[in-house]
Structure 1
Amino acid sequence: MTTFSPQLLALAHYLAGEFDNREQALAESAWYVHLRLWQRPVPLFQEDSLTIFAEQANIVNLDRPYRQRIMRLLQESNADAPLKVQYYMPKNPSTLIGAGRNGALLNTLTPDDLELLPSCVLNVTQKFLAPNRYNFAATPPPDTRCCFSVGDNIIQVSLGFEVSHDKFLSYDKGIDPTTGKATWGAILGPYCYTKREQY
């Protein structure tokens, strides 16, 4: 049985939950859609990591969630960024639609159901705030591009987040591979989520 560091356990605890960005969407409705975000722990890769399933939905279409993804949280021996997040994509996302709200849909998920996205990885640095209190920042390694295929299309995204015990800031953006410009997501700054429920 692997012993996980207090930092890795805290990161997983902070990421797990139901979030929304109600305050931000009300204050800046022209720029930020009101979203609900679910991040549920899943019992995968337990030999060396902790794993989170994530999906989100527009608050007016909660029955149509999208962007299903898996985050595998790993301990590294690298002193500068001792924690790492490796992203995976469900091979058949439609079978997991709604799993954010209904965690039972994740019970049959196996590593074979996931596609590793080798270029979609984040290094996590931590700031110690108080005993058992941290602020984590996850950023891509220099000169990496997170790309994957959906059907015949190559999708490029820029990933990143900050998380503390009750806040989650998402820097995720869609990137036009031709121009390198952001086309959706945190174009003007992060989506600022508040945790509403702990999973």
Structure 2
Amino acid sequence: MTELALRFAKTLAGHYSNAAQSQCDPIKYAHINIYFRPLPWEVFNGPGFYSEQSYDHDPWRPYRQGVHRLIPSEQTQVVENYGFDTPIRLAGGGFTPELLKIIRADRLKQRCGCAMHFRETAPGCFSGGLEPGQICLVPRNGRRTYLVSEVLVDRERWISRDQGFDPATDELQWGSEHGPLQFERVASFESDITAEWVSRMAEKETDSNIII
């Protein structure tokens, strides 16, 4: 694994909370937790994560879940997005990682058009957005919308904004009207990125460079 990709993976791996933002203005901002848990290498035979977002008062019913494969490169870190066939069985996996043992690659379905592309814009700070094309479709209130997602993450914070737009008119249909959500890192999971996780990635990159 390249130094950049390893730095990104360790930055991403954590628990983030917008408790401070919510407490300052609870009418505009709900209290939300975001978890990004590194997965065992065997899920993708490569680096991967499980993500979960939930309201603080209802942690066992996350409103967003995802399984992600990290595709590293020298410039852009691509985080692919996958759905799981029985997401309810993973609910709470952000803070109960034992639940993630049931994840199998053959039970995942890629969410086409929904990969996030991240670049390091300052040392240790990564800025990301959805892949081009406006084809990450999200149903909301019985209507199809395309998602626009922006994330800024470093070792201390996670700033994000998700919005849904009408595919025909490009009019905003849902999303925060009060600006981005401001999260603080409350725990790091980088210790889950074990030496094996890193060394096996390095071996895979070495193998891919062998010319036959």
TM-score (norm 2): 0.77
- What is the 5 A alignment of 1:1-199? 4-43=1-40, 44-47=43-46, 50-76=47-73, 81-129=75-123, 134-147=124-137, 154=144, 156-177=146-167, 179-199=169-189
CA RMSD of aligned residues (A): 2.4
CA contact (8 A) 2:5 2:73 kept: no
Amino acid at match of 2:104: T
Task: Give the SS at the match of 2:125.
Answer: strand
Amino acid at match of 1:7: L
Structure 2 gap segments, 5+ residues each: 190-212
Distance in 2 separating the partners of 1:155 and 1:53? 24
Task: Give the SS at the match of 2:45.
Answer: coil
Aligned residues between the structures: 186
Q: Deviations over 1:93-137 (max 9, x none)?
A: 1111111121111112111121101211222111343xxxx1000
CA contact (8 A) 2:134 2:146 kept: no
* Identical residues among aligned pairs (%): 25
Amino acid at match of 2:91: I
Structure having the higher strand fraction is 1
Distance in 2 separating the partners of 1:76 and 1:106? 26
Structure 1 gap segments, 5+ residues each: none
How far is 1:138 from its partner? 0.7
Shift of the 143–65 alpha-carbon distance from structure 1 to 2, 3 Å rule, reads closer
The structure that has the greater radius of gyration is: 2
Amino acid at match of 1:17: G
Match of 2:198 in 1: none
Q: Deviations over 1:27-62 (max 9, x none)?
A: 232321111111111122234xx2111112111222
How far is 1:174 from its partner? 3.6
Structure having the higher helix fraction is 2
TM-score (norm 1): 0.81
Amino acid at match of 1:63: W
